[in-house]
Structure 1
């Protein structure tokens, strides 16, 4: 037997050979099958270069609920087959985007007022002021565009003294703002994001709930009958909220989920769990989070980053929601600047959406967080999350498994300030 494999087993348990991944992305209206798979293939190519491994993506298969493909990753002494399932909800997102612009603006402003008057904005400020700025950004920016249109009208009146011309100038300025900056700055998508979030908190979404019910049944079957060594559920951004909902539904179908044949790991990355959980009316969601956290058989790792303003940095999700911290998430704080080459990081550092997407992109450097190593690598996602440097000390320069100290319970990084 290859001594490297023996060493890997000593450190991490039996290396993963088969894995099933359920990935739920954030509120991203660009989720057409071709573009999503192309992006996955492009980013896994970076993973191959960084970790000196090989990967192939094939067997694409679509259903109404998910896009599914197979990933085979190979190192000198290991091979992993990943059944990768991307949960679809672009159709729900598209419904919000198809509303008339007047409806999107008016309902978006009502959603904004809902979060402000309910005290959620104040909770954002107390928990993570950067996220509060992200919340304010689309609405303040839209307000500035309206103000600019009004000033155009005022200027037209001062020049011509004509009220009709002034009104026309103001309307022209508003139309120009909606035709240009509204689209360029993705304000429509951001308005829709908050509209969806408000409706999800107060009423739920029947289309998504039915889909999650079907996927929960698939998850239970996979955890009971598949040949996988690990079931991994990944929720990115607002997808982390839906991932919690998915796991809760699976637990209702099988309260022993994760205790039987196959371990289940949940990773929330760049998470928006507190975006929903801090709203006073999100009682149903907080109960859902608590049930999932209290299932000791499901390991929960939460990855956060300072430079990602779309996540909650240095926060303990359970504590911030006022829930019991007895079984809280293992929080890992990571640095996106360490994942990328310097020139690449400098290019994207002020593109907040691109920085946010680094949680699901390939890395240029080996570091404690690597999306593709977690989803397609030979070390379990739980072991990588518990290890202080992720898989870095477990993978040799040539991509093979290497020996190291066992991961112990004392190394569990529950402190939100623990930098990776």
Structure 2
């Protein structure tokens, strides 16, 4: 029995989490998924974390997955994008709030928001969520201030209104992820416009380091760049850089719950669109997993069509319904938490479907084969589910 060699570059989404936390989650959720897909998993090299001079941690660890008549050894490179995004969370709450508002206004003024509407109206609602939250806080505060003034006949209501607004903002930050969303939109604007040199320098370092490690892999090693959410805006430039170094090699790209279009639809994001075009015009296999349940991804989008690229092959789109992957009680606990639903793309599963983060990255099927088949093999009952849609489109 021969052993397949694989190198996976892991790029997390916009989460203020260190490499160790992402690693622990990967280990825990992979162990949950393994028996569902008849995999035996063994960690053959524990996590080793190195931090470069720019302060971005890189974690290395290795898995051996095996089953009946197959074995795969996968080297993982986990980049600490949280070391980059943590800059935004370290700022004063007022600065975080107003910089986020400024970013949202930028996306409206440049017409990017209206491109969201045309591409995925659900994502447009996600864009409006922080705006509506802030508007509700202000409306409640002002209404109660006015009512207090009318009842008491004094200015007490208006004196207490700022305090009430602060309390409501703190509640929204803690329980409704308001400041995280403000950071998220500020980061997206910075990436589109190339602002904040210290952040861009760290991103460029991640891109160049990952591309160099990919280029140094042996010819028989299968290469997969896997990104969740906003990690996709780093994945495409990494693959484009690797292709510039060796255009003959076939790479794999897995984007899940992708926020690629969040930045790429901004008119200033020309470099990112060029990276998308380079990957689309290569022989790389690209799988893009999307879900109707997740309001934070561009459901039923096609980056090639939506970016109006003149040439290139569209990704294989795997439409996932999380209800089909989880036990009913597990699904009920997450379905009303849209952040947790968004993270389900990188969490473990209870049932086989055509998509599983860990089965794709650790399992026996070559990535190009999974893309050609429209997803992982699964039993006929799941395959027949009407909610599980495999869509492949070609750019015209």
TM-score by length of 1: 0.84
The match for 2:354 is 368
Q: Which runs of 5+ in 1 are unaligned?
A: 6-14, 395-411
Instruction: Say whether the 8 Å CA contact 2:352–2:379 is kept in structure 1.
Output: no
Instruction: Say whether the 8 Å CA contact 2:108–2:114 is kept in structure 1.
Output: yes
The match for 1:59 is 46
Question: How is 1:103-142 mapped onto 2 (pairs within 5 angstroms)?
Answer: 103-142=95-134
Deviation at 1:413, TM superposition (A): 5.2
The match for 1:190 is 181
Question: How is 1:12-411 mapped onto 2 (pairs within 5 angstroms)?
Answer: 17-29=4-16, 31-57=17-43, 58-64=45-51, 65-163=57-155, 165-204=156-195, 205-222=200-217, 225=218, 228=221, 230-252=222-244, 254-256=245-247, 259-260=248-249, 263-296=250-283, 298-388=284-374, 390-392=376-378
Instruction: Find the aligned partners of 2:131 and 2:113 in 1 and give their Cα distance.
Output: 13
Instruction: Find the aligned partners of 1:227 and 1:61 in 2 and give their Cα distance.
Output: 24
Q: What is the aligned length?
A: 375
Instruction: Find the aligned partners of 2:325 and 2:371 in 1 and give their Cα distance.
Output: 16
The match for 2:385 is none
Instruction: Find the aligned partners of 2:83 and 2:241 in 1 and give their Cα distance.
Output: 21
Deviation at 1:153, TM superposition (A): 1.9
Instruction: Say whether the 8 Å CA contact 2:145–2:158 is kept in structure 1.
Output: yes
Instruction: Find the aligned partners of 2:186 and 2:365 in 1 and give their Cα distance.
Output: 39
Instruction: Say whether the 8 Å CA contact 1:332–1:385 is kept in structure 2.
Output: no
Deviation at 1:93, TM superposition (A): 1.0
Deviation at 1:189, TM superposition (A): 0.5
Deviation at 1:255, TM superposition (A): 3.7
Deviation at 1:92, TM superposition (A): 1.4
Instruction: Find the aligned partners of 1:322 and 1:138 in 2 and give their Cα distance.
Output: 29
Deviation at 1:266, TM superposition (A): 0.7
Deviation at 1:195, TM superposition (A): 0.3
Deviation at 1:89, TM superposition (A): 1.4
Instruction: Find the aligned partners of 2:41 and 2:246 in 1 and give their Cα distance.
Output: 35
Instruction: Find the aligned partners of 1:149 and 1:92 in 2 and give their Cα distance.
Output: 35
Instruction: Say whether the 8 Å CA contact 1:16–1:378 is kept in structure 2.
Output: no
Deviation at 1:43, TM superposition (A): 0.6
Instruction: Say whether the 8 Å CA contact 1:43–1:361 is kept in structure 2.
Output: yes
Instruction: Say whether the 8 Å CA contact 2:316–2:374 is kept in structure 1.
Output: no
For residues 191-250 of structure 1, the C-alpha deviation after alignment (integer angstroms, 9 at most, x for no partner) is 00000101110125222112211221112112xx3652x111011111111100111222
Instruction: Find the aligned partners of 1:333 and 1:240 in 2 and give their Cα distance.
Output: 17
Instruction: Find the aligned partners of 1:299 and 1:227 in 2 and give their Cα distance.
Output: 16
Instruction: Find the aligned partners of 1:108 and 1:352 in 2 and give their Cα distance.
Output: 20
Instruction: Find the aligned partners of 1:389 and 1:251 in 2 and give their Cα distance.
Output: 24
Instruction: Find the aligned partners of 1:38 and 1:288 in 2 and give their Cα distance.
Output: 31
Instruction: Say whether the 8 Å CA contact 1:202–1:282 is kept in structure 2.
Output: yes
Instruction: Find the aligned partners of 1:178 and 1:172 in 2 and give their Cα distance.
Output: 10
Instruction: Find the aligned partners of 1:206 and 1:161 in 2 and give their Cα distance.
Output: 57
- Structure 1 ranges of 4+ moved more than 4 A: none
Instruction: Find the aligned partners of 2:379 and 2:5 in 1 and give their Cα distance.
Output: 22
For residues 141-170 of structure 1, the C-alpha deviation after alignment (integer angstroms, 9 at most, x for no partner) is 12211221222322222233222x223310
Q: Which runs of 5+ in 2 are unaligned?
A: 52-56, 381-389
Point out the more displaced range, 282-291 or 17-26: 282-291
Instruction: Say whether the 8 Å CA contact 1:301–1:331 is kept in structure 2.
Output: yes
Deviation at 1:325, TM superposition (A): 4.4
Q: Which gives a bigger RCO, structure 1 or 2 (Cα 8 Å, sep 6+)? A: 1
Point out the more displaced range, 177-186 or 373-382: 177-186
Deviation at 1:67, TM superposition (A): 1.4
